[in-house]
Amino acid sequence: MFKSLLVPLDGSAFSERSLPLATTIARGSSAALHLLQVQQPPVPGHLLSSTQFQYQGLDLDAYAARHREEAIARLDETAERIGREGVAAHAAVVEGRRVADAIAEHAEAVGADAIVMTTHGRSGANRMWLGSVADGLVRHTTVPVILVHPEEEDETGVEAGSIRRIMVALDGSDLAEAVLPPAAALADATGGRLILAHVLTTGLLLGGDLLPLMPDDAVRVREEAETYLEGVAERLRADGRSVEIKLMESGSAGAAIPTMAQDARADLVALATHGHGGLRRMVLGSVADKVLRSSPLPLLVLRPDTT
């Protein structure tokens, strides 16, 4: 069950597109919302020594203080509005040179069970937000992160904040199953149905080539996957949750998951990922990142604590 949710904002209408979903989750789980804006420190004065700012008499400390006051006032106003909707909301402005690190630290400070934030993740220059904040956050926190596309209502037809069908991508590993608790908590908060999804391999990778499975092997793989998913589903149903399973054959999980989500009429996709540097980022790059770029649905992504 969610008790504390962190919502990073930056003062833009773009960032506030995460608020309807965050408020819905908070209301359904009696959680408190923590609204956060990270203010980056001003550029040191000596770096402006040859610019027009010096000659205009700009006081960087006063400039930063004024922007901090404006940010606090804006967040307080948003918190008050959310409070009138029956959800406890708190506002904070913190200073941090690295935004993702500051968000992760504040999440720990307020005991956040999840972070809900808006992100671009589709293509081109719009991926800057993902690269600089959301992606960095996923790589540095084990708190579940719910990423919301600002255009989700227009493209999916899903009412803002409405989550009724949650598709959870599983591959049979403990890593993938780590996303089940937050996904289940989200279902509890929204009254949503869980859809356990598994991508069946269409062949055996050998020497860089994908060799098709023999018919008997394909049948066995499907039966094993169905047995696995039904076992997980029964554990979740035992707690009174509504659960279904879904299988799809594909050579690429990253390509198959958005299609499965569309076919299942899902409102959100949940999956676990490694978020480290180097080769261990392969899962994020090949699955979570592909899903984020190719699907307009919100994405719940978790980097499990493997320590």
The percent of residues above 90 in pLDDT, for the chain, comes to: 49
Which 3-state string (H, E, C) describes the chain?
CCCEEEEECCCCCCHHHHHHHHHHHHHHHCCEEEEEEEECCCCCHHHHCCCHHHHCCCCHHHHHHHHHHHHHHHHHHHHHHHHHCCCCEEEEEEECCCHHHHHHHHHHHCCCCEEEEECCCCCHHHHHHHHHHHHHHHHHCCCCEEEECCCHHHHHCCCCCCCCEEEEECCCCHHHHCCHHHHHHHHHHHCCEEEEEEEEECEEEECCEEEECCHHHHHHHHHHHHHHHHHHHHHHHCCCCCEEEEEEEECCHHHHHHHHHHHCCCCEEEEECCCCCHHHHHHHHHHHHHHHHHCCCCEEEECCCCC
Tens-place pLDDT, residues 76-133: 999 999 999 999 999 999 988 888 999 999 999 999 999 999 886 444 444 444 446 8
What mean pLDDT is predicted for residues 140-149? 91
Q: Is the pLDDT of residue 55 over 90?
A: no
The vertex-7 CA angle with 289 and 69, nearest 5°, equals 130
Tokens 């992606």 map to which residue?
Answer: 135
CA-CA-CA-CA torsion sign (67, 72, 77, 79): positive
Token readout for 299 is 């994405």
Count of Cβ atoms closer than 10 Å to residue 223 Cβ: 10
Q: Can you tell me the distance from the alpha carbon of 288 to that of 254, in angstroms, rounded to the nearest whole number?
A: 7
Q: Can you tell me the distance from the alpha carbon of 165 to that of 264, in angstroms, rounded to the nearest whole number?
A: 8
Task: Go through the domains of the chain in sequence order and give each one's CATH number.
Answer: 1-151 (3.40.50.620), 163-307 (3.40.50.620)
Token readout for 110 is 């307020």
The percent of residues above 70 in pLDDT, for the chain, comes to: 75
Say what the pTM is. Answer: 0.83
**pLDDT at residue number 116:** 96
